[in-house]
Amino acid sequence: MHPRNPRLDRLADFPFRRLARLLAGLAPPAEVVPIDLSIGEPQHAPPPLLAETLAAHAHLWNRYPPPQGTPEFRAACAAWLERRYRLPPGSVDPEQQVLPLAGTKEGLFLVAQLVVDAESASRPPLVAMPDPLYAVYYGAAVVAGAEPLCLPATAASGFLPDLDALDRDQLDRLALFYLCSPANPQGAVADRDYLARLYRLAREHDFLVAVDECYAEIYDGLAPPGALEVVRAIDPEWRNLLVFHSLSKRSNAAGLRSGFVAGDARVMRRFLELRAYAAAVQPLPVLAAATRLWQDEAHVEANRRLYRRKFDVAEEVLGGRLGFYRPPGGFFLWLGVGDGEAFARRAWRDAGVKLLPGGYLSPGVGKHAPGAGHVRAALVHGEEVVREALGRLAALAT
């Protein structure tokens, strides 16, 4: 039997498969140690409390965990949201407005299956998303039977989707709007006015806003505002809004596969029903470790200092070259190089530095994708490795 779901035929290869094909047959110089800046996988050590808590709860590996997680986990997430976003104590209901996720990737995919009604509509519903993007947004929309609406997020719009580009027909067809803030790959932060305007559109046209805030704890200056924080002044029940958070970047715990979703209690009830069928539940030792990580801020502050220092290095080494700018959030550089594919090949062949062409973060292909003139560099390694890699790139630019 062959797979028969025709929607899968609309999915492009994941960016890293495309990158492997682009670099096939190329070898970096023999005298240099290759450095991979293509993948946003944190290389900082996770805090010791992670392993300690897993070990302390090892007796629970033989227990089936509940789909809604533990009360302790939900309470820790709710309390963290209230601290981080200066929400009134008790404003986030851990029993009705928080659910664990096996990483935000799972939740961001499932939310489209939750809200897209592809059967009763006369035309396919729309799912809006930034372009360039995290590929899961596009894949979720396609598999749910929606029509992806990719909104260019370029320098002209502050590297965020241009809300003015949406006409009334599109707004009325929208089922879901994905937003990432701080943005991957550009590091742009949606300010309060932007978030409030998007939310008011969602209420007027009755679509769900899904805000991916997994980089919210990695920032250069001021802490980025959050969607819950902004929207509470408009609607304290957060109707039509979900936010997604992860420990992958905040706590350097990508392998833990732990995050959560919070927001509209009506949507969360349906989310729990869907997760009972479709999602991987988190083991109890993992939930215990995640609970401790959400309760601790010291390791997060130390992590943030490490990234700030690497952006100091980047500014020192690349300032004035390759379209460098210092992003307000996240841990990526979004470098303007003219032709992302050509520069990525050259960087690997001549300098042993692996970069991701910006066009590979767009659903479309070719040189007209919004990110085609850029490359993404992930500053995930230690400071000296980052300095070495960026020095090699600076040499290519001279």
Domain CATH number, residue 138: 3.40.640.10
pLDDT the model gives residue 347 = 98
pLDDT digits (tens, 9 = 90+) for 4-28: 777 877 877 788 999 999 999 999 9
Residue 1 domain-assigned (yes or no): no
pLDDT beyond 60 at 215: yes
| Whether residues 148 and 258 fall in one domain | yes
Residue 155 domain-assigned (yes or no): yes
pLDDT beyond 90 at 29: yes
Q: What is d(CA 384, CA 123) in angstroms, rounded to the nearest whole number?
A: 53
Average pLDDT of 361-387?
89
pLDDT the model gives residue 118 = 84
We report the CATH number of the domain holding residue 34 as 3.90.1150.10
pLDDT digits (tens, 9 = 90+) for 386-398: 999 999 999 998 7
Half-sphere exposure of 392 (CA within 13 A, CB side): 27
Instruction: Determine how β-strand 98-101 pairs with β-strand 147-152.
Output: unpaired
Confidence of residue 1 (pLDDT cuts 50, 70, 90): low
pLDDT digits (tens, 9 = 90+) for 298-342: 999 999 999 999 999 999 999 889 999 999 999 999 999 999 999
| Whether residues 196 and 71 fall in one domain | yes
| Whether residues 275 and 201 fall in one domain | yes
> Which of residues 260, 277, 295 is at a domain's end?
295
pLDDT beyond 60 at 267: yes
pLDDT digits (tens, 9 = 90+) for 33-51: 999 999 999 999 999 999 9
Torsions phi, psi of 156, nearest 5? -65, -25
> Which of residues 278, 295, 312 is at a domain's end?
295
Query: What mean pLDDT value characterizes the chain?
Result: 95
- Which residues, 6+ apart, have CB-to-CB distance to 371 below 8 Å? 131, 132, 185, 334, 340, 357, 358, 359, 360, 361, 362
Residue 291 domain-assigned (yes or no): yes
Q: What is d(CA 197, CA 191) in angstroms, rounded to the nearest whole number?
A: 10
CB contact at 8 A, 18 and 366: no
| Whether residues 22 and 71 fall in one domain | no
Residue 168 domain-assigned (yes or no): yes
| Whether residues 54 and 178 fall in one domain | yes
Residue 52 domain-assigned (yes or no): yes
pLDDT beyond 60 at 173: yes
| Whether residues 41 and 52 fall in one domain | no
| Whether residues 277 and 371 fall in one domain | no
- Which residues, 6+ apart, have CB-to-CB distance to 48 below 8 Å? none
| Whether residues 37 and 68 fall in one domain | no
Residue 351 domain-assigned (yes or no): yes
Residue 349 domain-assigned (yes or no): yes
* pTM (2 d.p.): 0.95
CA distances from 188 to 191, 227, 270, 338, 339 (A): 9, 15, 31, 20, 22
Tally of domains in the chain: 2
CB contact at 8 A, 261 and 107: yes
pLDDT the model gives residue 3 = 64
CB contact at 8 A, 304 and 378: no
| Whether residues 201 and 349 fall in one domain | no
Residue 54 domain-assigned (yes or no): yes
> Which of residues 265, 295, 325 is at a domain's end?
295
| Whether residues 157 and 263 fall in one domain | yes
Structural domain boundaries, residue 191: 48-295
| Whether residues 262 and 364 fall in one domain | no
| Whether residues 66 and 194 fall in one domain | yes
Q: Which amino acid would we find at residue 286? A: V
